[in-house]
Structure 1
Amino acid sequence: MDTMTVPDLVAHLGSEEDSYRKMAVFKLQAALGDPAFADVFISQGGLPKLTDLTLRANGNTLAYALTSFCKLLDLDMGWDYVSEELVERAVQLVVTNPLVNILRSAVSVLVAITSRPHTFGDGRGTSGFRALKPAVTLHPSFLEMLVSILSSVDETQLAANALQLINSLIREAVTNDAEAEWPKFIKKLQDLGVIRAVYRLMQGQALSDLAQPLLEFQSLTKIMLRKWRDVRVDMDKPEHKRALRSISFASYSPSDTYAQGSSRGGGSKRNRDPERWRRIGFQSEMPGAEFEETGFLGMMDLTDFVVKNEDQFRKLILEQTNKASELRCPIARASLAVTYVLYEHFGIHEGDLDDAKAYAVLESRHNIDKAFKPLLLHWSRLHTAGLNAFLRLWKVTGAEVGDFEKVAELVKILVADIVGNASRMKDIADVEHDLSETDYQKLRRRQMELIEETYEHAWGHHLKFVNDDLKDEAAQFVKEQRIRCLLDGAWFPTSFSYSDSGPVTKHNVNRATASSWRFVRLSHNRRWLHYADFDAQKEPSPGLDQLTEKLDLSRVSSVVSNISASPPPSPSISAASDKTLSNTKISKDGSGNTTASAKITVYGFAAPPTPANPMSPSAPRRPSASAENKETVLLQLHPGSKTLASEWVDGLLMLLNQRPITAETERLEEMIANYGLRIRLLNIRYEDLDAQEPRNPGREGLDDDYWFDFGGL
């Protein structure tokens, strides 16, 4: 201690001069970090003098004394001098709100006292909130002042100390108070605005000093929710019976109450209703048993919704009562389902394990936002928003009673998507809006994606082969569909007429009117294309006997179109094909939208002459190889739409056993394969995922009468 020995320091602590006391206690607070020095200080009789300073001093001297005393408590020393008087002094300092350094040290002393898990050695008091109760009774504004400190933006360390003290009080109350006492204490803190204050701190930027107590408060919130959930609903308990009666009473309008003392004996309609609880949405007239999964937490959530939305609740009950029984949404069951969804989503059941992961994330300082879940603090508002979403989905889907679990599954996905992906900075009001506005179709798509991901994870190896088979089946299906379009035939314009307002330009070419038409149809044996030209389209379409021209498909070498959105054609396509593609005309219609003049060109070889008797000397000679391989245009078609062009281009290619080239056909194949996979996945029981690999039989009980079954190979 520089030039001051321990005896000198102790002597100065009891000096009449304030400057001596201030200097001594200033040096003391720095030295008490060493346990060996603390032992010597106590053995020299310094603790009584330090305690006296905490009770009598003011200003910086008091701040240094409180800090020194707190350091001794952290070393598990000095507990014999923690008296009711000292606790009352610290509480008084918090209430009177003195200098920040004094306030910070006083709160730290109270944190140390409430955090100690066992009773004081001298029997003069106990740790935890019980040690503070007498002082808090004398200063009833203590908790209010403590909560107000959390709103101190400039003093994050002070706010951290105050939150740490609140955490200690909550943990002590939840752990040691009677079942009926700790909820009252928590309710008082909530009424004082502790949830709002901590929520703002979690969404703030200054997390360096506050991270640890904020995570502890989050952990305590989970502990309280789990503790409420573990409380079994007992209809013999007056408070439980009272809560259920308030729900029943709110479901009836005032006009449903009969006048007391009437000729019918008084009473009310709700007491005479044989389906009093079923109309609210319970499955029986004994509702207590239906809180098995959610416990008293489920009753709290349902009661809170009814109390805060009484008019809406009454209208909902009336609306459901007027529906057929199988179409009614069971509101009480829906409320309990939403409670369970939130309970599972936030991992309340994981408890300390989940908290340990959060602290590990905090320590690493990477992706710190994942550690904080400020939306958890607004449990009641999330439950109300989730229940409203349940009711909306029930109505949109036209669900019946048997579909309850399906709607609950949709709500689970909705909560995971909206709440789970919400950033730390996202406001609860925005989350409520998203829960109320999410489109059902979007939710269904997300559900299908999750199903695919789940089964891909569990059945990925098997699904690869299934997916390959489905792609082949989809290709065959689309091939047959395209060829059937050719068998049905189609009309194609062959010439156009234009208005007399001026020459044909790039601006009016797309406003031309077809003046003649060509009808093309594939023969039943799929070997010939029959076609003929007409002045106008006919109904019904011409038959094969009316189509005077025909094209032998065995002569076709390639089919080219300018509507393909697929990769460029392969090098096997001839130079003539490339020339056709390069000459594609692009124009703009009157609205300014770019369009293409669709064209299908069929290339092939000239038919060689066939002699009556090939061995006869008079038979014509076969053309040379160069003449035989010369490609010419056999047929040109101008489809009126991209869909028609896609059907005929890919239909002709598939007829020639070639790959389709248009994007529309590729999308159709992919869509059919995906739907096929989803249908097969929906037919698989989820329990099959947990199926164990078959075990080989042992030798026990095996005789010579056995055989091998290769039927599955």
Structure 2
Amino acid sequence: MSTNGPSSATNGSQVRPGALVPTNNVTTSEGLTVRARIDPTLTVDDVVKQLCINLKIKELPANFALRDETDELVTNDNLRKKIKGKVNLKLVNAPYREARETADKLGQKNERNLKLTLFSLQKFIREEQFAQEFINHNGLRELVSVIYDSNGNTLAYALTAMQNLMELDYGWSSLDDNFILKVVQILSSPTSLINVCRPATAILKKLVEADPMSAPGPQLASTSRSPPAAPPGSVYRYGFHVVFEQMRKEEKLLETVVNRLGSADTAMAQYSMMLINSLLSHASDTRWEEFIAELERLNVRKAVVRLMSLHIMEDLTSCILDFQANIVRVTYRKKTTLVDPDSEPSHAAALQYIWESSKLEEETDENGAVLKWRKLGFDSEDMVQEFSEVGVLGLDCLKKLVENDQDFSKLVLEQLSRALERRCSIAKASNEVVELLSEHWAIFAPGYSTSTTFQPFFLDFYKVHSLATHFFLRMWTESGAASGDFTRVVALVRSQVKVALRSENVRPWHEVVNDFNEREYRAVRDRQMKELELEDDLLSKVPVRNLRAKLYKESYEFVRQQRIQCLLQGAWFVNALPQSSPRDPPRRSNRPWRFMRLDTGMKYLHYVDSAVKFPVRSGLEDLPERIDISMISEIATGTCAPPPNVLRDQNDLPPTSPLIPSPLSFSLLSAHEGSLADQIAPDQSRWADWTDGLNMLRRDGGHVASKETAGFVQALTEIGLKIKLLDLSGEKVEIPSGLAAGPPPTNTDFFFSDLL
């Protein structure tokens, strides 16, 4: 390597024969700029050493490093690229030295220099060499102190630095409850600036996700709900229960976070959505019911439905689909949680409210038994058994039905005034509608959601339930049904549910209301008769529905593993151009192709950019660059266009205008760094493999983005179901509509006999 004086000089030193060595401007800390011819085969340490020698710097070369104009650290991995690109470089303090000086400056609390120090810290803290020395030099303690004592932009910079530090999986395990409470208080304050709230929200989200169950290692495969003990010094020692205990001290926090979903700042809405999703995904058993009840009280579903209708929600699509998937989990858990009024005061209170709203009086039947819940249409007085199939979800739905119907008592009296065989069992109808809606929205198992579009009607589950239950009662009356016709009316309602809730991502709510309230019995019956010609009644039976739920879960997991396997194998993509202003000229790249592959630890996407496609060896040796999976907050689709200089045929890239986003494009977005990658897949199959694979790779299961993947899951489920049913039909096994459990044993004086 050779250097030539100040930048005004035009003639450089001689280059060794046969070598073409680019010239880079290098600026020293004193402001002196020299032109240096750097051999790209050298290491960064050798380059720095020669610069120190040529510039006659007496300090040890180990005290210095190179950065580019954006302050990105020059490493052995990116040195060649920066030299070939003739990037202007700066000779600066080494990361370890910069880290010590930064920690010392934070401790001095010099208000004049504090903002500048924190501004630089936001960027440098992401570098491992800097971060390690910063932590070892008590930098974390000083940063926490600044957060306690600052406000305004100074606080925003400090919180952003903390947020970036917490991207590391070490070094911040000393953060205590007082710090968490401080962040909660900052976030709760209605006067906090947006640029303060964004990193504060991200910090809470990170703490929620840092629970022992999320720690890398074999415990991830454990099915036990008991979290393992975090080893000493591990940052995986927090989690939902730790954060939520501090959140409970600020009653307005959740309300403030939910309100910020309506923020005009899209990034603020996105951060708030991500925090809510993390809380939903990691809620502990002990606080789950309290947390969910509070979210329902704050009407978070309505806030998300409102986001769906906004034109600025493109950046929030992934977060909204995550929220839908989380609500599927909440709904499934409620459905499988038994109603127990003797042990759960909330269950007893809900039942008491329903009974009081009916304005009925208890009686005794001819046998002297209490006649209470049977007057509402239940088959018995045992509420545990009556709600056994629909659980707490069924109880909540019935309670909401009563709350929203001021004439509920008249509805009950109307049924009681009829002859016994002509009465419609209101409570049984309510529970059956819960089953029908659960079937329609595939509430089959926790953690599995194949919806690729918004489902605003699903988020209004209770309202839809109320509409469908009233529709049930109306069909009962209009059809002149008797006690033996319950199954027939259920079939009518199932048919109407499919029609009323079709295309819910584009249909307005008033059409749903009209479909349930205005459709006459004759029209519904005629349509249903046509449907019956094409359907098998066997598929609607409860055991078959339960079998479909089991197969659905297995199919989802199979497709998930297949998608992730595609990521492990790797694929070629086109480096795309994000959408820009029409005035901006399209950028040209001399390396338009990128090969990406997921490492076996599933922590990084390794890649290489190239001018042409070439055979990539197995492993990661050919892939020098990488993207941290944990940095990806959203996989956005249809976001970018192909570069204008890509020579391609139809197998390389689908034809499209350089200015129009490709339907096969996707971007890997970071919450605070923008786009980490903009790619275009060669075909629909590869696009589905990668967009869904990256989504399904997340710890909480993520969501499905493509109709192709959702179709695979559904197809595998239906094929598996038909194969199972062929086994049964071949043996001419009669499948009952339901199985009634007998009474439990009166004592333990019994044993199970051996099958001979």
Fold match, TM over 0.5?
A: yes
Contact 2:453 2:505 in 1 (8 A): no
Shift of 1:245: 4.0
Matched, 1:80 2:173: yes
Counterpart of 2:484 in structure 1 is 402
Matched, 1:690 2:723: no
- In the alignment, the residues of structure 1 paired with residue 302 and residue 401 of structure 2 have an alpha-carbon distance, to the nearest angstrom, of 19
- The one of 405, 414, 417 equivalent to 1:319 is 414
For each residue in 1:381-404, what CA deviation from the matched residue of structure 2 results, as whole angstroms up to 9, or x when unmatched? 111111001011111111111110
Contact 1:281 1:329 in 2 (8 A): yes
Contact 1:389 1:436 in 2 (8 A): yes
Equivalent residue runs for 1:82-101 within 5 Å: 82-96=175-189, 97-101=191-195
Shift of 1:425: 5.8
- The one of 494, 498, 502 equivalent to 1:416 is 498
Indicate the SS of the match to 2:376: coil
Counterpart of 1:10 in structure 2 is 100
Equivalent residue runs for 1:238-253 within 5 Å: 239=345, 240-252=347-359
Worse overlay, 28-37 or 65-74: 28-37
What TM-score do the two structures reach when normalised by structure 1?
0.56
Indicate the SS of the match to 2:314: coil
For each residue in 1:169-212, what CA deviation from the matched residue of structure 2 results, as whole angstroms up to 9, or x when unmatched? 33333xx232xx42232222222232221121123222332223
Shift of 1:433: 2.9
- In the alignment, the residues of structure 2 paired with residue 455 and residue 443 of structure 1 have an alpha-carbon distance, to the nearest angstrom, of 18
Equivalent residue runs for 1:14-413 within 5 Å: 14-15=104-105, 16=108, 17-96=110-189, 97-118=191-212, 121=232, 127-133=238-244, 135-152=246-263, 154-173=264-283, 176-178=284-286, 181-234=287-340, 236-237=342-343, 239=345, 240-252=347-359, 275-309=371-405, 311-354=406-449, 357-358=450-451, 370-413=452-495
For each residue in 1:31-57, what CA deviation from the matched residue of structure 2 results, as whole angstroms up to 9, or x when unmatched? 333444433443454333333333333
Who wins on radius of gyration, i.e. which is larger? Answer: 1
Contact 2:99 2:131 in 1 (8 A): no
Residues 140 and 126 (structure 1 numbering): CA distance in 2 closer, same or farther, change over 3 Å? farther
Contact 1:83 1:124 in 2 (8 A): no
The amino acid of 1:422's aligned partner reads: E
Contact 1:301 1:383 in 2 (8 A): yes
Root mean square deviation, CA, Å: 3.4
Equivalent residue runs for 1:532-681 within 5 Å: none
Shift of 1:151: 1.3
- In the alignment, the residues of structure 1 paired with residue 102 and residue 211 of structure 2 have an alpha-carbon distance, to the nearest angstrom, of 34
Residues 690 and 445 (structure 1 numbering): CA distance in 2 closer, same or farther, change over 3 Å? farther
Q: Which stretches of structure 1, 4 residues or longer, exceed 6 Å deviation after superposition?
A: 267-273, 455-458, 686-689, 692-695
- Larger % of helix: which? 1
For each residue in 1:584-635, what CA deviation from the matched residue of structure 2 results, as whole angstroms up to 9, or x when unmatched? xxxxxxxxxxxxxxxxxxxxxxxxxxxxxxxxxxxxxxxxxxxxxxxxxxxx
- In the alignment, the residues of structure 2 paired with residue 270 and residue 378 of structure 1 have an alpha-carbon distance, to the nearest angstrom, of 43
Unmatched segments (≥5 aa) in structure 2: 1-70, 72-89, 213-229, 540-721, 732-756
Contact 1:410 1:443 in 2 (8 A): yes
The amino acid of 2:254's aligned partner reads: L
- In the alignment, the residues of structure 1 paired with residue 296 and residue 316 of structure 2 have an alpha-carbon distance, to the nearest angstrom, of 20
Shift of 1:67: 1.5
Contact 2:163 2:203 in 1 (8 A): yes
Contact 2:335 2:393 in 1 (8 A): yes
Shift of 1:338: 0.5
- In the alignment, the residues of structure 1 paired with residue 367 and residue 198 of structure 2 have an alpha-carbon distance, to the nearest angstrom, of 57
Residues 336 and 374 (structure 1 numbering): CA distance in 2 closer, same or farther, change over 3 Å? same
Residues 221 and 270 (structure 1 numbering): CA distance in 2 closer, same or farther, change over 3 Å? farther
Residues 137 and 243 (structure 1 numbering): CA distance in 2 closer, same or farther, change over 3 Å? closer
The amino acid of 1:331's aligned partner reads: I
The amino acid of 1:132's aligned partner reads: V
- In the alignment, the residues of structure 2 paired with residue 338 and residue 46 of structure 1 have an alpha-carbon distance, to the nearest angstrom, of 58
Contact 1:13 1:21 in 2 (8 A): no
Residues 110 and 287 (structure 1 numbering): CA distance in 2 closer, same or farther, change over 3 Å? closer
What TM-score do the two structures reach when normalised by structure 2?
0.53
Residues 236 and 191 (structure 1 numbering): CA distance in 2 closer, same or farther, change over 3 Å? closer
The amino acid of 1:79's aligned partner reads: W
Contact 1:229 1:297 in 2 (8 A): yes
- In the alignment, the residues of structure 2 paired with residue 271 and residue 60 of structure 1 have an alpha-carbon distance, to the nearest angstrom, of 76
The amino acid of 2:195's aligned partner reads: N
Unmatched segments (≥5 aa) in structure 1: 258-266, 359-369, 459-685, 696-713
Contact 1:25 1:68 in 2 (8 A): yes
For each residue in 1:248-285, what CA deviation from the matched residue of structure 2 results, as whole angstroms up to 9, or x when unmatched? 333335xx69xxxxxxxxx9999988543322111234
Counterpart of 2:525 in structure 1 is 444
Shift of 1:149: 0.9
Residues 185 and 282 (structure 1 numbering): CA distance in 2 closer, same or farther, change over 3 Å? same
Equivalent residue runs for 1:368-517 within 5 Å: 370-424=452-506, 426-427=508-509, 429-454=510-535
Residues 230 and 137 (structure 1 numbering): CA distance in 2 closer, same or farther, change over 3 Å? closer
Shift of 1:70: 1.3
- In the alignment, the residues of structure 2 paired with residue 185 and residue 249 of structure 1 have an alpha-carbon distance, to the nearest angstrom, of 27
- In the alignment, the residues of structure 1 paired with residue 314 and residue 179 of structure 2 have an alpha-carbon distance, to the nearest angstrom, of 31
- What percent of counterpart residues are identical? 31
Contact 2:390 2:431 in 1 (8 A): yes
Residues 272 and 238 (structure 1 numbering): CA distance in 2 closer, same or farther, change over 3 Å? farther
- In the alignment, the residues of structure 1 paired with residue 193 and residue 231 of structure 2 have an alpha-carbon distance, to the nearest angstrom, of 30
- In the alignment, the residues of structure 2 paired with residue 410 and residue 398 of structure 1 have an alpha-carbon distance, to the nearest angstrom, of 13
- In the alignment, the residues of structure 2 paired with residue 226 and residue 274 of structure 1 have an alpha-carbon distance, to the nearest angstrom, of 33
For each residue in 1:352-386, what CA deviation from the matched residue of structure 2 results, as whole angstroms up to 9, or x when unmatched? 232xx34xxxxxxxxxxx42212222111111111
Shift of 1:316: 1.8
Worse overlay, 83-92 or 338-347: 83-92
Indicate the SS of the match to 2:270: helix
Contact 2:209 2:240 in 1 (8 A): no
Contact 1:13 1:24 in 2 (8 A): no
Contact 2:211 2:236 in 1 (8 A): no
Shift of 1:106: 0.9
The amino acid of 1:188's aligned partner reads: E
The amino acid of 1:690's aligned partner reads: L
Shift of 1:81: 3.2
Contact 2:210 2:236 in 1 (8 A): no
Alignment: residue pair count: 437
The amino acid of 1:381's aligned partner reads: K
Contact 1:79 1:120 in 2 (8 A): no
